[in-house]
């Protein structure tokens, strides 16, 4: 990239219903960052097959995610929006980096431990080496910044370690990236079990808000969110009793841009019923214009194909440059 703008890479897996957690933890930040950075935002379909996917659903979700990116306000002309499997360099670099990553490092990854407990019948090698593919995603674009939610920070730390290890042997091949989390919403919790992260693959649909849920369903889910019996609206960090209220305050703060303190002050003498109704309204009003744009995009498949085709061309050019550099360094004949 010719100017001084920093480079951003980030991605979401098309593995389930995109949630409010994905939006507040990642995509909302992408929108805020796009004006003064060069941004590459990918739909990482290769990551999603670490867990069995229905092929038709995977196809649909991949396009849904592209629509969501654009509907949330990411400009597809200014930024590179692409589908991971359209850029072969991701899988190619992942193989190389696998040979520079220790099994001990991969065994320590919290997400691997969690997912292998959840999918005991399919603890495949891809699930284990998935953070290496993620490292390849980031390092191919020489990204400075990776805006993600809190759960991905461990993978970014690993990416840095792999890159530093590789650079230590071959010179400055990779930029060392940094993770970047939002002030509010880096870890949105489950509405049903607020000490657990909100997850798009949760079996209980009441646990998460999908960006594509009907508005009345969203409101219902928030109104029935698990809280506590104290009846006090205040933010108490690290207090599990308050996990539900903390989460609703965080969500309210993230969608309105208001500080948690000012929200707490407003609800000092109000009950959970009023509070939840207002959180529900704030969330619905925030999502409403996104959904309108999303529905419009659903009418225009040719436009979406054009976006991801152009995105892949641009991404391939950048990624291939880094891959060639890596191949040369390690002694592959080009």
Active site (catalytic) residues? 115, 197, 200
CA distance readout (Å), 138 to 94, 158, 181, 296: 11, 11, 16, 31
* Residue 227 or 247 having the CB closest to ligand TYM: 247
How far is 83 from 218, CA to CA, in rounded Å? 29
Binding piece for ligand TYM, criterion CB under 6 A, among 52-60, 180-188, 252-260, 303-311: 180-188
How far is 43 from 81, CA to CA, in rounded Å? 8
* Residue 42 or 227 having the CB closest to ligand TYM: 42
Query: Rounded to 5, what percent of the chain is helix, strand, coil?
Result: 60, 10, 30
**Residue positions counted in the chain:** 334
* Residue 13 or 210 having the CB closest to ligand TYM: 13
Counting contacts by CB under 6 A, is residue 25 touching ligand TYM? Answer: yes
* Residue 58 or 266 having the CB closest to ligand TYM: 58
Q: Could you count the other beta carbons within 10 Å of the beta carbon of residue 238?
A: 7
Tokens found for residue 249? 């305050």
Among positions 46-105, residues that touch ligand TYM (CB under 6 A) are: 47
* Residue 211 or 326 having the CB closest to ligand TYM: 211
Counting contacts by CB under 6 A, is residue 12 touching ligand TYM? Answer: yes
How far is 28 from 45, CA to CA, in rounded Å? 21
Binding piece for ligand TYM, criterion CB under 6 A, among 9-17, 32-40, 226-234, 285-293: 9-17
Binding piece for ligand TYM, criterion CB under 6 A, among 33-41, 52-60, 142-150, 245-253: 142-150
Among 37, 115, 160, 197, binds ligand TYM (CB under 6 A): 197
CA distance readout (Å), 175 to 9, 146, 184: 12, 12, 28
Tokens found for residue 93? 């670099």
Which residues contribute to the site for ligand TYM (CB under 6 A)?
9-13, 21-22, 24-26, 44, 47, 134, 137-138, 146, 148-149, 151-152, 185-188, 197-198
């Amino acid at each position: 990239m010719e100017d001084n703008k920093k480079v951003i890479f980030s991605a979401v897996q098309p593995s389930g219903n995109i949630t409010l957690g994905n939006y507040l933890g990642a995509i909302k930040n992408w929108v805020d960052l796009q004006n003064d950075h060069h941004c590459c935002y990918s739909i990482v379909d290769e990551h999603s097959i670490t867990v069995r996917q229905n092929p038709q659903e995977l196809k649909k979700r991949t396009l849904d995610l592209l629509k969501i990116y654009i509907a949330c306000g990411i400009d597809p002309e200014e930024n590179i929006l692409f589908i991971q499997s359209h850029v072969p360099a991701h899988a190619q670099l992942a193989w190389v980096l696998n040979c520079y990553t220790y099994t001990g490092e991969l065994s320590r990854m919290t997400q691997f431990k969690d997912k292998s407990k959840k999918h005991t019948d399919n603890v495949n090698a891809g699930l284990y080496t998935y953070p290496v593919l993620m490292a390849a995603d980031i390092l191919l674009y020489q990204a400075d910044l990776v805006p993600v939610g809190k759960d991905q920070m461990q993978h970014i730390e690993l990416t840095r370690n792999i890159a530093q290890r590789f650079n230590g042997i071959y010179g400055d091949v990779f930029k060392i990236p940094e993770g970047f989390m939002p002030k509010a919403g880096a870890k949105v919790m489950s509405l049903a079990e607020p000490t657990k992260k909100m997850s798009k693959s949760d079996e209980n649909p009441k646990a998460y808000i999908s960006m594509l849920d009907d508005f009345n369903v969203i409101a219902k889910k928030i109104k029935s969110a698990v809280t506590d019996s104290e009846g006090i609206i205040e933010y108490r960090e690290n207090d599990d009793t308050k996990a539900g209220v903390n989460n609703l305050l965080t969500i309210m703060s993230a969608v309105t841009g208001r500080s948690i303190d000012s929200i707490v002050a407003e609800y000092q003498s109000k009950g959970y019923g009023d509070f939840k109704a207002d959180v529900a309204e704030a969330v619905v009003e925030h999502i409403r214009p996104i959904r309108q744009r999303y529905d419009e995009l659903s009418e225009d498949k040719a436009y979406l194909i054009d976006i991801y085709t152009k995105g892949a061309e641009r991404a391939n050019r950048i990624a291939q440059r880094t891959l060639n550099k890596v191949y040369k360094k390690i002694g592959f004949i080009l």
